Structure 1
Amino acid sequence: MQTIAERLISAYGRIDQATASAHRPPKSVQLLAVSKTKPVSDIKLAYEAGQRSFGENYVQEGIDKIQQLQAYSDIEWHLIGPLQSNKTKVVAEHFHWVQSVDREKIARRLNDQRPSSLPPLQVCIQLNIDEEDSKAGILPVELPGLLDAITAMERLQLRGLMAIPKADAAPSAQAETLAQLAKLFAQYRTKLSNFDTLSVGMSGDMEEAIQHGSTMVRIGSAIFGSR
């Protein structure tokens, strides 16, 4: 059975190959290791293998891990799961990134509760790109309003878009969704400073996502094993 270090090497190899196949610059795609439900010991093994960016879906689980790993001061923690308004304060105080901002109320609370002693919180807007009832995120038509609201918030730095396309879509439908995401990202990337992140693609579809311009893939099972 492969170790976490070996699986990380394999994941980075897949990213490098996909990036080259898409004729994109080397190292233009970041790997976010999704460590939800996995023990701190697994995160330490990934850290020892060189990984520094980790994604957590659940607020309390993420906070517990951040506190247990305070000595690992160069870890970059991303919240990638849903965020309720009653949990924004602890998230604003502990995480470096929130990728799942999907309404102005959440953004405003994060902005107001981000400690002045910390740099601005890096955020992405989560898009419900396939307009699925079961998924969080705003609809594409709602994007301009939320973009305008967040860019006016001094304690937030808007970095880009995050999405979770349909998992069982046919290849043609998947390509159409990813192309739509890429178009939206490119549209605002030219207008906004530091708007440089398109977070899409997971263990099963990272190659397709990279082909369509993803700059960050969120990889869990391919590194830590199935949950």
Structure 2
Amino acid sequence: MNTHHIPHQHQHILARIRAATERAARPDGAVTLIAVSKKQPADAIRAAYAAGQRAFGESYVQEALDKQAQLADLTEIDWHFIGRIQANKTRQLAAHFDWIHGLADIAHARRLSEQRPAKRPPLNVCLQVNLSGETRKGGVMPEAVGALLAECRMLPGLRVRGLMTLPAPAEDEAEQRRPFRALRDLRDRLATPDCPLDVLSMGMSDDLEAAILEGATCVRIGTAVFGARPLD
């Protein structure tokens, strides 16, 4: 695979993130880029790593494990699972990932906590919130997040870091900002000094500016970093 374009595209996305962060009057470095590497080969991840990228997002467990084995020499990688959690994959998720975005089920939370290896720190998790009310979308309804948060905080193998959402696409920036603002407001209501929920995982290529203006701390970007997925 030709990976020569990846450093340039990576820098372009970082420039967009910096510009949006400055526009939001937020400090430089307030937003982390998660490079969504699902269906990208290990060579593409290696090229992005060489360009300075450290956080990578995967959605398919076996594919991710294969790439992790190929990239075991890259010791500074943070692996983020951004796919839908399946109960029969929680042991692998607990053992091989640093972050889970999209936790929305207390049964999954209990399994992840129990199966987190004792030698590793608690698994960082973001609770997925369904702000659209669409039943086909993952996540818990806003009114149920507090109860899920309270239960997850009792699990020693997990560390609840914040909230995540995948809103419906919108063309206009004002429309894009609305669900992101709702997630930030929900976080502000639920946060406490001992559980600040300092992570808001929201925003992708088409709406990262709107997400950053509303407080995103990490954005998930795939094609704009790597190009088209070669395995699609």
Q: Which residue of 1 aligns with 2:203?
A: 201
Residue 189 of structure 1: how far off its partner (Å): 3.1
Q: Which residue of 2 aligns with 1:42?
A: 44
Task: Give the direction of change, closer, same or farther, for the CA distance of 1:76–1:150 in structure 2 (3 Å limit).
Answer: same
Measure, in 2, the Cα distance between the counterparts of 1:171 and 1:9.
23
Residue 69 of structure 1: how far off its partner (Å): 1.2
TM-score (norm 1): 0.95
Q: Which residue of 1 aligns with 2:33?
A: 31
Measure, in 2, the Cα distance between the counterparts of 1:141 and 1:226.
38
Q: Which residue of 2 aligns with 1:164?
A: 166
Q: How does 1:71-82 map to 2 (within 5 A)?
A: 71-82=73-84
Q: Which residue of 2 aligns with 1:151?
A: 153
Residue 186 of structure 1: how far off its partner (Å): 2.0
Larger displacement relative to structure 2 (81-90 or 185-194): 185-194
Q: 1:155 corresponds to which letter in structure 2?
A: G
SS in 2 for 1:125: strand
Q: Which residue of 2 aligns with 1:56?
A: 58
Measure, in 1, the Cα distance between the counterparts of 2:4 and 2:135.
37
Measure, in 2, the Cα distance between the counterparts of 1:175 and 1:76.
28
Q: Does 2:217 correspond to 1:215?
A: yes
Task: Give the direction of change, closer, same or farther, for the CA distance of 1:9–1:150 in structure 2 (3 Å limit).
Answer: same
* Aligned equivalent of 1:110, options 93, 105, 112: 112
Q: Does 2:172 correspond to 1:177?
A: no
Measure, in 2, the Cα distance between the counterparts of 1:53 and 1:83.
19
Residue 132 of structure 1: how far off its partner (Å): 1.6
Measure, in 2, the Cα distance between the counterparts of 1:189 and 1:14.
29
Query: Per-residue CA shift, 1:24-43, capped at 9, x if unaligned?
Result: 11110000000011000000
Provide structure 2 residue ranges, at least 5 long, that are not aligned to the other structure: none
Query: Per-residue CA shift, 1:166-208, capped at 9, x if unaligned?
Result: 0146544432212111101222334443521000000111000
Residue 211 of structure 1: how far off its partner (Å): 0.5
> Cα RMSD (Å) of the superposition?
1.5
Residue 148 of structure 1: how far off its partner (Å): 0.2
Q: How does 1:127-146 map to 2 (within 5 A)?
A: 127-146=129-148
Residue 68 of structure 1: how far off its partner (Å): 1.6
Q: Which residue of 2 aligns with 1:8?
A: 10
Q: Does 2:77 correspond to 1:66?
A: no
Residue 99 of structure 1: how far off its partner (Å): 0.8
SS in 1 for 2:126: strand
Contact 1:151 1:157 in 2 (8 A): yes
Contact 1:160 1:197 in 2 (8 A): yes
Q: Which residue of 2 aligns with 1:20?
A: 22
